[in-house]
Amino acid sequence: MPASNRVIGFIGLGIMGRPMALNLVNAGYPLAVYARRPEASRPLADHGANVYPTPAGVAAHADVIITMVSDTPDVEAVILGDQGIASGAKHGCVVIDMSTISPAATRRFAEALASRQIDMLDAPVSGGEQGAIDGKLSIMVGGKTDVFERMLPVFECLGKNIVYVGPSGAGQVAKACNQILVAQTIAATGEALLLARAAGADPVRVREALLGGLAYSKILENHGQRMLDDNYTPGFKSKLHLKDMRIALEAAREAGVQIPGADRTLTYLDTLVEAGQGELDSAAIARMVWGRDSLD
Amino acid sequence: MPASNRVIGFIGLGIMGRPMALNLVNAGYPLAVYARRPEASRPLADHGANVYPTPAGVAAHADVIITMVSDTPDVEAVILGDQGIASGAKHGCVVIDMSTISPAATRRFAEALASRQIDMLDAPVSGGEQGAIDGKLSIMVGGKTDVFERMLPVFECLGKNIVYVGPSGAGQVAKACNQILVAQTIAATGEALLLARAAGADPVRVREALLGGLAYSKILENHGQRMLDDNYTPGFKSKLHLKDMRIALEAAREAGVQIPGADRTLTYLDTLVEAGQGELDSAAIARMVWGRDSLD
């Protein structure tokens, strides 16, 4: 079926969802949209999307329904709640949740939808607002392989690095792995720059030297520079990184494994958010490592 | 002065030192060499290097003396010990220590040499045996800037990413920062792959997905693959990484800063070495994170 015949429902038109939905419109898909705040739908309506007052309304008119909302309870409400997707969806449609939520809850939602002959993929992303605007998100997908393959043309409008990682929930697990690795690399970069400065080397030059070798990471490159500039404009907000770390630690607990480095970094994020700095980019984890606001 | 007129002394012809010395010979420098084990000098002698029975003997015939030995006490013995460099060196020569040792001890050695009108640079490297063979080491240099600039042609025979990072000892500080960042990124990668497997995602695909985004690091690429292959052929031996972590933690203590992530990773390395696995590549930190030998 050509793109233009398959209607895509899009629920959640925030910082990430809006540019993603626009990329689908620009690719030629007819869109059915819903947003909790009506004004969030306007830019899509201006591009010809049909706006519905409930997720059920969107679902009744769509072949594929993408959700991009804030947290596990929001996804649950949008899929299984009163006037949710499940109450309106056509048999044979596919739900793709691109939010970052709990893997265990994801499996539960997928089972509830399966009992209504609705397939679900979990497909969280990384790459941030700029990645969403540019259609260059990384997308980590869990669910049935045949459903993944059918949905690939949709994913290709949204991202560049699209990887199938396993059955239902596995996409969320991959995202959790991403977030614990990123958080710990931020904290370790903070320690390295702290040691450099305290022990008498120039942290600007140390970062430069380390970028040329085995210590290279995108975090040292991007977040290391933010630390040196003392500039924590997000980027990715600490309060959202904290939410994601809680999901990861809960998944580890359920799976019966210990990830103490991630646990310690969650504490840094928790302290940061409790101190009222949850709007700062999560590179500000370094401030918790330093025990002060800057390297100076 | 053209390369061929300036004699370079080279002390320490092990896995790293030998290929580095060969690159200097190939660049046209006459070499004077010393190795604790006489047979280690043979490949250099075959290429025309003059072999001397003591560091003092090397120093008496060289304008620049490079040391590449195992640890702080070895550098101390070679520079300040009986028949050491200090007892034989010509006024105005330059000592370049490329070993990885204590920054505080480095400053002490540099001061002792300065009192004899001998300049010293600390210039530890990263990039391993292959980097040494290819002349593509990263070199982190501490000392006086004018001495660094005079020695740049020598460094350019050995490495590609050559960065001046500050006064005497700063090169060793930069190397310590490199080692704590690498060790922690290894541990965090181990946690990410553990969570992936335990929570039902394919760790091979999760690594692949994460490589395409913000979580990219050379450690995830190289050491992550070693973990998945269960192949810990060094590479860089755990016992040497442990030595370097001890240097870093000592430097942090002296500078009055806390680096708890590095401290925890030192404990992993210590446990690994105590278990008789010090010869394994330090990617085997992951085994300590997992509490078992493999992900399976």
Condensed to tens digits (0 to 9), the pLDDT of residues A69-86 reads 999 999 999 999 999 999
A90-114 residue pLDDT tens: 999 999 999 999 999 999 999 999 9
**Residue A64 dihedral angles phi and psi, to the nearest 5°:** -135, 130
Res B168 pLDDT > 50: yes
Cβ contact B61:B27 at 8 Å: no
Q: If 0-12 CB within 10 Å is exposed, 13-18 middle and 19+ buried, where does residue A44 land?
A: buried
Are A187 and B184 a contacting pair at CB < 8 A?
yes
pLDDT of residue A296: 85
| Most A-contacting residue of B134, B160, B191 (CB-CB within 10 A), to test interface | B191
Rounded to 10 degrees, the C-alpha dihedral B40/B43/B48/B49 comes to -20
Query: Which of residues 144 through 173 in chain B touch A, CB cutoff 8 A?
Result: 160-161, 163-167, 169-171, 173
State the average pLDDT over residues B168-177: 98
Mean pLDDT over the full length of chain A = 96
Residue of A nearest to B140 (CA): A209
pLDDT of residue B5: 76
Res A2 pLDDT > 60: no
Q: Does domain A8-167 have CATH number 3.40.50.170?
A: no
With a pLDDT cut of 70, the percent of chain B lying above it is: 99
Of B140, B178, B251, the CB nearest to A199: B251
**Distance between alpha carbon B123 and the CA centroid of its chain, in Å?**
9
State the average pLDDT over residues A38-53: 95
User: How distant, in Å, are the alpha carbons of B8, B66, B96 from that of B93?
Assistant: 10, 11, 10
Indicate which residue of A175, A218, A239, A243 is catalytic. Answer: A175
B202-231 residue pLDDT tens: 999 999 999 999 999 999 999 999 999 999
Q: Does domain A174-290 have CATH number 3.10.20.740?
A: no
User: How many helices (H) and strands (E) in chain B?
Assistant: 14, 9
**What are the boundaries of each domain within chain A?**
8-167, 174-290
Structure tokens at A139: 């997308």
B228-249 residue pLDDT tens: 999 999 989 999 999 999 999 9
Residue of B nearest to A185 (CA): B185
To which H or E segment does residue A67 belong? strand A64-67
Chain B residues touching A254 at Cβ < 8 A: 199
Mode of pairing for the β-strands spanning B64-67 and B8-11? parallel
Lowest mean pLDDT of A93-97, B3-7, B14-18, B73-77, name the range: B3-7
Closest residue by Cα to residue A178 from A224, A125, A113: A125
pLDDT of residue A88: 94
pTM of the model: 0.96
Closest residue by Cα to residue A199 from B126, B144, B254, B140: B254
- The maximal CA–CA distance of chain A, rounded, in angstroms, is 66
Res A1 pLDDT > 50: no
pLDDT of residue A278: 98
User: How distant, in Å, are the alpha carbons of A198, A289, B179, B260 from that of A194?
Assistant: 6, 8, 14, 12
**B175 carries an active-site annotation:** yes
| Bridge partner list, A166 | A142
Give A71's Cβ-side CA count (13 Å radius). Answer: 10
Cβ contact A255:B191 at 8 Å: no
CA B93-B59-B174 angle, to 5 degrees, is 65
Q: Give the pLDDT band (50/70/90) at residue A56.
A: very high
Residue of A nearest to B200 (CA): A170
Q: Give the pLDDT band (50/70/90) at residue A3.
A: low
Res B296 pLDDT > 90: no
User: How distant, in Å, are the alpha carbons of A244, B58, B66, B237 from that of B63?
Assistant: 58, 10, 10, 33
With a pLDDT cut of 70, the percent of chain A lying above it is: 99
A114-149 residue pLDDT tens: 999 999 999 999 999 999 999 999 999 999 999 999
